[in-house]
Amino acid sequence: MFPLHRGRRLRTNESIRSLVRETSLSPSDFMFPMFIAEGENYKVEIPSMPGIFRRSIDLTVEEVKEIFALGIRAVNIYVKVSENLKDNEGNEAWNPNGLMQNAIRAIKAACPEMIVMPDVALDPYSIYGHDGIIANGDVENDSTNVALVKMAVSHAQAGADFVAPSDMMDGRVLRLREGLDAAGFHNVGIMSYSAKYASAFYGPFRDALDSAPVEATEIPKDKKTYQMDYANRIEAIKEALWDVEEGADMVMVKPGIAYLDIVREVKNAVNVPVTVYHVSGEYAMIKAAAERGWLDHDQIMMEQLMCIKRAGASLISTYFAKEAAILLNK
């Protein structure tokens, strides 16, 4: 009788393993984060993120066409704003002819079926590098929400399919939904960064956009008064449920691999798709280790993406999107 159950029968060869595999990946599971800069025919690699570039709008459009052909159906876009356009209120964020708005229009004109989800937060536009308006030595919640609504409506006017608030202000999803609806954009969705932790994994991203908080005694030195404490789990569920109640169409957990327990908890709690951001620091660590020959780049990339999907992600925002799609298409 011993052993009655032999789990290895289902692992005998790749054909059997593929038959019983519980989780699968496809290029349509990925969203590609893209960094956009002013200029024309401009493409500069981000030193801390090998293989990821700041591109001008014309080259961004060409890259969008290429990844759409690979099966990727969504991009999450960010802009690097010139220093002379930054202020405390983020006024450039809702300029109808701003870099973000022009980028949205160009992408949708060239590739109408690509889902465009622009970032909604003030840090790229802030002289302080914070996600909101500084008042009385802190990020002021409610006035920031007013600015975010203007920003989101301008994105919708440019053709965005979803807006993606990453700011973590209280109540901003409800204000965004009200503002979009009042402007006639009932079909523009909200993908809310619901459980965005105050993480050290974001370092390379802030290099890409030059959006780290500046050092000044009169403002917070970091983003811990609005991003979540990474020691907390129940708080993430609460934040996600609040955002769904306020009208979020999708919720996000950020970062990814170090937070898979949170991904599963949120997935079990909400009835909307869960997006996971496989962030810049997680990307950079794999690249650095692979360059030194310590890890097999492609194997560890695919393992991490599969694990994020297995934990409950409906969509994975990852800098590996293009590389992974090429591998999957083979």
Residue 229 CB coordination number (10 Å): 9
Q: How far is CA 117 from CA 31, 134, 148, 288, 289, in A?
A: 9, 26, 15, 29, 31
Residue 9 maps to a domain: no
Q: What is the pLDDT of residues 5-37, one digit of tens each?
A: 999 999 999 999 999 999 999 999 999 999 999
Query: Domain of 184?
Result: 24-329
Residue 122 maps to a domain: yes
Among candidate residues 86, 108, 223, 254, the one labeled active-site is 254
Whichever domain contains 210, its CATH number is 3.20.20.70
Q: What does 231-253 look like in DSSP terms, one character per residue?
A: T-SHHHHHHHHHHHHHT-SEEEE
Q: What's the confidence (pLDDT) of residue 219?
A: 86
Token pair recorded at residue 291: 């360059």
**Residue % of the chain over a pLDDT of 90:** 92
Residue 3 maps to a domain: no
With H, G, I as helix, E, B as strand and everything else as coil, classify residue 283: helix
**Number of domains forming the structure of the chain:** 1
Residue 119 and residue 30: Cα distance in Å, rounded?
Answer: 16
Token pair recorded at residue 90: 């983020």
Average pLDDT, the chain: 95
- Give the chain's largest Cα–Cα span: 77
Q: What's the confidence (pLDDT) of residue 280?
A: 94
Residue 178 maps to a domain: yes
Token pair recorded at residue 89: 């209120």
Q: What's the confidence (pLDDT) of residue 217?
A: 64
- Range 156-159 contact pairs with CB under 8 angstroms and sequence separation of 24 or more: 156/180, 156/183, 156/185, 156/188, 157/96, 157/101, 157/183, 157/185, 158/96, 158/100, 158/101, 158/102, 158/104, 158/105, 158/108, 159/104, 159/105, 159/108, 159/116
- Which of 141, 240, 125, 247 has the alpha carbon at shortest distance from 193? 240
Token pair recorded at residue 140: 């002021």
Residue 291 marked as a ligand binder: no
Among candidate residues 86, 108, 196, 309, the one labeled active-site is 196
Which residues, including other chains, have CB under 8 Å from residue 56's CB and lie 6 or more apart?
36, 37, 38, 39, 40, 41, 42, 43
Rg (CA), the chain: 20
Q: What's the confidence (pLDDT) of residue 209?
A: 67
- Label residue 169 left, alpha or beta by phi (over 0 means left) and psi (-120 to 50 means alpha): beta
Q: Is-catalytic flag, 150?
A: no
Residue 12 maps to a domain: no
Backbone angles phi, psi at 218, to 5 degrees: -90, 0
Residue 180 maps to a domain: yes
Q: What is the pLDDT of residues 91-100, one digit of tens each?
A: 999 999 999 9
- pLDDT of 221 higher than 90: no
Q: What is the pLDDT of residues 129-165, one digit of tens each?
A: 999 999 998 999 999 999 999 999 999 999 999 999 9
- pLDDT of 291 higher than 70: yes
Do 266 and 237 meet the contact criterion of CB atoms below 8 Å apart? yes
- pLDDT of 190 higher than 80: yes
Q: What is the pLDDT of residues 88-126, one digit of tens each?
A: 999 999 999 999 999 999 999 999 999 999 999 999 999
Residue 90 maps to a domain: yes
Q: Is-catalytic flag, 322?
A: no
Residue 278 maps to a domain: yes
